[in-house]
Amino acid sequence: MQGTNITTAMASSRLLRQLFDRESCTYTYLLADLATRQAVLIDPVIEHAERDATLVRQLGLQLQFVLNTHVHADHITGTGRLKGLLPGARSVISRASGAQADVLVGDGDTVKFGGEEVSVLSTPGHTEGCVTYLHRAGGWAFTGDALLVRGCGRTDFQGGSASTLYASVWDKILSLPPSTTLYPAHDYKGQTCTTVEEERQHNPRLTKPRDEFVTLMAGLGLPYPKKMDESLPANTVCGLHELPERMQGWL
């Protein structure tokens, strides 16, 4: 069944829920402070905006922010649709992405919701504007496409750079405590998360020396993303405009 829940984690008054889009293999994350009922969503997909909004309501939460790790090329973000379904929610994206949002963030910024917060780590390389959202108290990092389970995002469009990605991952993500749980924006093999320690040891791409990694990424020969032409224009405005005709009635 498309859009099924993958896993749930809760510690004291803190909630983390992982959701899935089968078509693009995208993970969406719901984080909440259960004491104040304030919440954020990370990397939503427009086809599941109603699912995500329903879950927020069912759990009695107030959505404060909808965060994107970068301007996605393989799906349209649900940010704009969620802002309509849950008034008061504000959109967040990296300033370096060149996209529009209610809140533009950069390296070292903090997004707070209730007594919880995520820090912004600039991790470009997959795209120029990629960021990782780090929840230090929970030991969680939401890495977008910068670092996947035993892999990483491609680096051949949207200002991508293999050399930059290598530095981003090692300097900002794999330098975190070894037990830090890493939650990617995608997985294509059914894995839901990984850890810093695992990726330091077992990532087949990023355990190579930088020069070998750059050569490997240059030779991938990946096909043009099939949804890129419709996704990029929409995602630069958080899914609010320039949508395909089939989605125009959603907003």
* pLDDT tens-digit series, residues 180-213: 999 999 999 999 999 999 999 999 999 999 999 9
pLDDT at 224: 87
Q: What tokens appear for 186 in the block?
A: 């995608």
What is the b/e burial string over 211-239, where b = at least 16 CB atoms within 10 angstroms of the residue's CB? eebbeebeeeeeeebebeebbbebbbbbb
pTM: 0.91
Mean pLDDT, residues 17-31: 97
> For residues 120, 124, 127 and 128, what is the CA-based torsion angle, rounded to 10 degrees?
90
Handedness of CA 223, 149, 232, 55 (dihedral sign): positive
pLDDT at 240: 66
Would you place residue 227 in the very low, low, confident or very high pLDDT band (cuts 50, 70, 90)?
confident
Strand partners, 121: 132
The CA distance from 231 to 242, in Å, is 9
The CA distance from 236 to 88, in Å, is 20
Q: Taking the domains of the chain in order of start, what are their residue ranges? A: 5-221
Q: Residue written as tokens 């294509």?
A: 188
Non-local (6+) Cβ contacts of 185 within 8 A are 26, 27, 43, 69, 72, 142, 143, 144, 145, 148
The CA distance from 240 to 251, in Å, is 7
The CA distance from 160 to 124, in Å, is 7
Percent of the chain with pLDDT over 90: 86
Would you place residue 57 in the very low, low, confident or very high pLDDT band (cuts 50, 70, 90)?
very high
How far, rounded to the nearest angstrom, does the alpha carbon of residue 157 sit from its chain's CA centroid? 18
- Nearest residue to 203 via CA among 159, 158, 156, 166: 166
The CA distance from 111 to 118, in Å, is 5
Spatial contact of 164 and 127, defined as CB atoms under 8 Å apart: no
Mean pLDDT, residues 225-232: 89
Average pLDDT of the residues of the chain = 92
Helix/strand/coil for 229: helix
Specify whether domain 5-221 bears CATH 3.40.50.1100: no
